[in-house]
A and B are shown apart, each in its own frame.
Chain A
Amino acid sequence: MFNINNTWLRNSLCATLVAAPVAFAAPTYAQEVYPSADETLDWTIAFGPGGGNDIMARTIIDILKKYELYPGDISPENRAGGSGAVGWGYLYGQSGNPYGISTTSGSFVTTPLQADTPWQPSDFTPVALLATDDLVLVVNGSSEIQNIEQFIAAANAGPMNIGGTGTVNVDFIVPTLFAEKAGFEFEYVSFNSMADQTTALLSDALDAMVGNPGEILGMIDSGDLRPLVYSGASVPAALEGVPTMGDLGYDIGVSMPRGLILAPEVPAAVQDWWIATMKKVVETPEWADYIKTNTLTPTVIYGEDFRTFLNNTKDGFEVVLRSVGAID
Chain B
Amino acid sequence: MDVFGDLLMGLSIAITPINMLYLLIGAIVGMVVGVIPGFGPSAGLAILLPVTFGMDPTGAIMMLAAIYYGAMYGGTITSILLNTPGESATVASTFDGYPLAKKGRAGPALVMQAVASFVGGTVGVILITILAPMFSQVSRSFGPPEYFLLAMMGMLTLVVMIGTNWKLGLISALIGFALGTVGVDLETGQGRYTFGSAELIGGIYFIPVAIGLFGLGELFYSFYVGMHRSGSGGIVQYDKEASFWPSAEDFLTTRMTMVRGSILGFVVGVIPGAGATIASLMAYSTERSVSKAPEKFGTGEMAGLVAPETANNAASSGAMIPLLTLGIPGSASTAVLLAAFMLWGLRPGPLFMEQNPELAWGLIASMYLGNMILLVISIFAIPLFVQIIKVPYRILGPIVVVICTLGTFSVHASFIETYLMFAAGIIGFFMRLYGFSPAALVLALVLGPLAEEALRQTLTISRGSGMIFLERQASLWIIGVTIVLVIVLPLMSRYGRSSGTAEKAGT
Binding site for B on A (CB under 8 A): 48-51, 55, 58, 79-83, 85-86, 89, 111, 114-117, 161, 166-168, 172, 187-193, 195-196, 198-200, 202-206, 214-222, 224, 293-294, 321, 324-327
Contacts and interface: CB of A to CB of B under 8 A. Distances in A.
A114 B191 contact: yes
A251 B414 CA distance: 41
Given A83-B202, A115-B201, A190-B187, A199 B47 contact: no
A111 B272 contact: no
Contacts of B201: 82-83, 85, 111, 114-115
A107 to B, nearest CB: 10
A219 to B, nearest CB: 5
Contact of B349 (A191, A206, A217, A326): A217
5 closest A-B pairs (Cβ-Cβ)?
A: A218-B349, A205-B143, A85-B198, A167-B189, A82-B198
B146 A218 contact: no
A116 B140 CA distance: 40
B188 A325 contact: yes
Interface of B: 45-47, 49-50, 53, 139-146, 184, 186-191, 194, 196-199, 201-202, 272-273, 322, 326-330, 335-336, 338-340, 342-343, 345, 347-352, 412-414, 453, 457-458, 460-461, 463, 472, 474
Contacts of B327: 215-216, 218-219
6 contacts: A86-B198, A115-B191, A195-B329, A199-B142, A205-B144, A218-B347
Nearest to B330: A195
B350 A203 contact: no
A50 B143 contact: no
Given A167-B187, A204-B143, A293-B342, A190 B457 contact: yes
Contacts of A190: 186-187, 189, 457
Given A195-B273, A325-B190, 5 more contacts: A82-B197, A83-B201, A167-B189, A189-B461, A327-B189
B64 to A, nearest CB: 10
Contacts of A326: 188-190
A222 B342 CA distance: 17
A115 B190 contact: no
Contact of A222 (B329, B350, B414): B350
Contacts of A114: 184, 189, 191, 198, 201
A204 B198 CA distance: 35
Contacts of B189: 114, 166-168, 172, 190, 321, 326-327
B140 A293 contact: no
A58 B196 contact: no
Contact of B336 (A50, A192, A321): A50
A139 B461 CA distance: 15
A171 B62 CA distance: 34
A91 B53 CA distance: 26
Nearest to B415: A81
A325 B197 CA distance: 19
Of listed B141, B328, B414, residue having the most chain A CB within 10 A: B328
Contacts of A321: 189
Contacts of B347: 217-218, 221
Contacts of B184: 114, 166-168
Contacts of A327: 189-190
A55 B340 CA distance: 10
Given A48-B46, A198-B328, A205 B461 contact: yes
B288 to A, nearest CB: 30
Contacts of B339: 50-51, 55
Contacts of A50: 45-46, 49, 336, 339-340, 343
B350 A117 contact: no
B282 to A, nearest CB: 19
Contacts of A203: 140-143, 146, 472, 474
A158 to B, nearest CB: 10
Contact of A55 (B199, B343, B413): B343
A218 B348 contact: yes
Nearest to A159: B463
Given A50-B336, A167-B187, A200-B457, A117 B198 contact: yes
Contacts of A214: 342
A181 B442 CA distance: 46
Contacts of A216: 327, 349
Indicate the member of B144, B184, B335 with the most A CB atoms within 10 Å. Answer: B144
Contact of B350 (A82, A192, A199, A224): A224
A152 to B, nearest CB: 20
B45 to A, nearest CB: 8
Contacts of B140: 199, 202-203
Contacts of B139: 199, 202
Q: Which of B141, B340, B457 has the most CB of A within 10 A?
A: B457
A28 to B, nearest CB: 31
A167 B339 CA distance: 23
A171 B92 CA distance: 36
A115 B197 contact: yes
Contacts of A324: 188
B49 A115 contact: no
Nearest to B341: A218
Contacts of B342: 214-215, 293-294
B46 A189 contact: no
Name, among B273, B335, B347, the residue most crowded by chain A CB atoms within 10 Å (CB to CB): B347
B199 A116 contact: no
Contacts of A161: 460-461
A195 to B, nearest CB: 5
A79 B413 contact: yes
